A and B are shown apart, each in its own frame.
Chain A
């Protein structure tokens, strides 16, 4: 999470300081500014900033390099980025010798600076995570992130170990969010292919043509924009495993192509005439009922039997409720750490709520719910109120019990917020769903809005 990191921008030019700070704030960082080197050093003594952006040329006694040296005296590990104009690049190189981590020439392109910042922050995050891990006794989790005490899930985990070193195709079935990719990874990384690539392709995300080039690559000039020969995912996965997610969504043509790869372990690049041979283990996954799709004529049965050599069906979270507390604790620990928040646990009442909920989006929805609760909570224990949004979803889906005695205004306010949340803020759609016109919805929003 970004907002735990603070950045200091040091420049004598106010416009420079303010605009740079504003830009970084939009990215979620906490930013302070200083107009003098001396002031910057004083601020650094109070706060250990994650990054210091320091202008090389500053009037008033202390220039950029001196400021850098002073800050390094206080924080030897500080990441200092020296800002320079074209004319003074030589001095900037001098600054690197004095320990600046990087220098940038202004004006620079937004991509460059955004990458610079995220590169430094990524290292800081890692250092921080390692520090936390070192402090704590690392708990060992079962089979790389799959956490369970459910008997069926444990059978699945055992099966992933048994089949890990086979080359047979595997078909993983399960609702979305059940962790199909985690199971595929467990198979790959437990077997003798573990040092070879594990490549994921989400078939639903791409159109037929894009998916074809994604899977099989293309030859130079095979279509407009095909500048150079490009390898597809099958070639990249050579020796390893390819994970084809949402296999139920692919077109008849690609079904035929895929069948050929499974039968002959060979294919042609798009626009190519030379056969490419690969040794790839295929693990496919779907949330769809492929047998039904076959009956409907949307999926080839010969492909189905090729894929379904070993079938794994992952139960939805509501069929393994005993795992919810384990998962909730594990996710909370990870998310709280990412957010830099001190949240110790989920209260008993809230845990009961989580166990009662049906989780149509499965583990991923649980993860999102905990993340959301962590963002909004102001306490160290996640309580029922922090998961109030689940109640809203439950009441929307199930029979709705009338909140007798609640002020009408409050009922209306909640209904509007819930609807807007469902439309991700789209007012037009929300008004249509509530069957009122836009201006009425506006008036109501204004009434509940804090004017600023």
Chain B
């Protein structure tokens, strides 16, 4: 689900990633307006918990997961920024592309690189919704990225350990 205006290609790329890795049929909800109360004028950023709550309120009962995608720069009180946030073992996830763009860092825009980073963060946050925690393998999508260089060090795939945990979580018949 886009939050505010999100370019079509980013939404399409997100759907491709979901299709490749998760047993969900993605469908798009109409854009959710950014909740005005999320705006933090003193920080020039949007508060992620408020957005997550708005997403949860908009989550259709039959949806396995709800992934919000935003171009806004997001943060929580404790941290200066986030690439994304997820409900651990819950349906809601949020990814911000703001700091995945080269131009955020004053560099030449790089569209392919942006799509690659987006795929990694989508896997990462959806991994959390399936109960995966951060992985020590720096190439694994579940490794923690505290800056964009670490996003680039990852691959858009899970390591064997996280991959098999994910499969077990998604397929186990007894929980």
Contacts and interface: CB of A to CB of B under 8 A. Distances in A.
Nearest to B150: A111
B171 A108 contact: no
Interface in A435-452: 438-439, 441-442, 445-446, 448-452
B23 A446 contact: yes
Contacts of B85: 19, 22-23
Nearest to B163: A424
A450 B175 contact: yes
A154 interface: no
A3 B86 CA distance: 18
B171 A417 contact: yes
A56 to B, nearest CB: 13
Interface string A311-353: 0000000000000000000000000000000000000000000
Contact of A448 (B21, B134, B157, B173): B173
A110 interface: yes
A107 B77 contact: yes
A116 to B, nearest CB: 11
Given A22-B88, A27-B144, A425 B77 contact: no
B49 interface: yes
Interface string B133-151: 1100000000010110000
B82 to A, nearest CB: 7
A111 B82 CA distance: 11
Given A425-B167, A442-B23, A20 B88 contact: no
A122 interface: no
Interface in B110-127: none
Contacts of A23: 76, 78-79, 85
Interface in A398-452: 413, 416-417, 420-421, 423-428, 438-439, 441-442, 445-446, 448-452
A450 B23 CA distance: 12
Interface size class for chain B?
35 or more
Interface in B145-162: 146-147, 157-162
Interface stretch (A10-18, A254-262, A280-288): A10-18
A73 to B, nearest CB: 27
A346 B40 CA distance: 56
B48 interface: yes
Interface in A249-289: none
B146 A110 contact: yes
Interface size class for chain A?
35 or more
B20 interface: yes
A294 interface: no
A46 to B, nearest CB: 23
A111 B150 CA distance: 10
Given A27-B134, A425-B21, A442-B23, A107 B49 contact: no
Nearest to A109: B80
Nearest to B168: A417
Contacts of B168: 417
A226 interface: no
Contact of A20 (B78, B158, B171, B173): B78
A424 B157 contact: yes
Given A15-B47, A427-B19, A449-B170, A20 B76 contact: yes
B45 to A, nearest CB: 9
B171 A28 contact: no
A106 interface: yes
Contacts of A439: 25
B66 to A, nearest CB: 13
Contacts of B75: 107
B146 A106 contact: no
A449 B80 contact: no
Contacts of B20: 426-428
A385 to B, nearest CB: 14
Interface of B: 19-25, 43, 47-50, 64, 75-82, 85-88, 91, 128, 133-134, 144, 146-147, 157-164, 166-168, 170-175
5 contacts: A109-B147, A372-B164, A417-B167, A438-B19, A452-B91
Interface of A: 2-3, 13, 15-16, 18-20, 22-23, 25-28, 83, 106-111, 113-114, 372, 413, 416-417, 420-421, 423-428, 438-439, 441-442, 445-446, 448-452
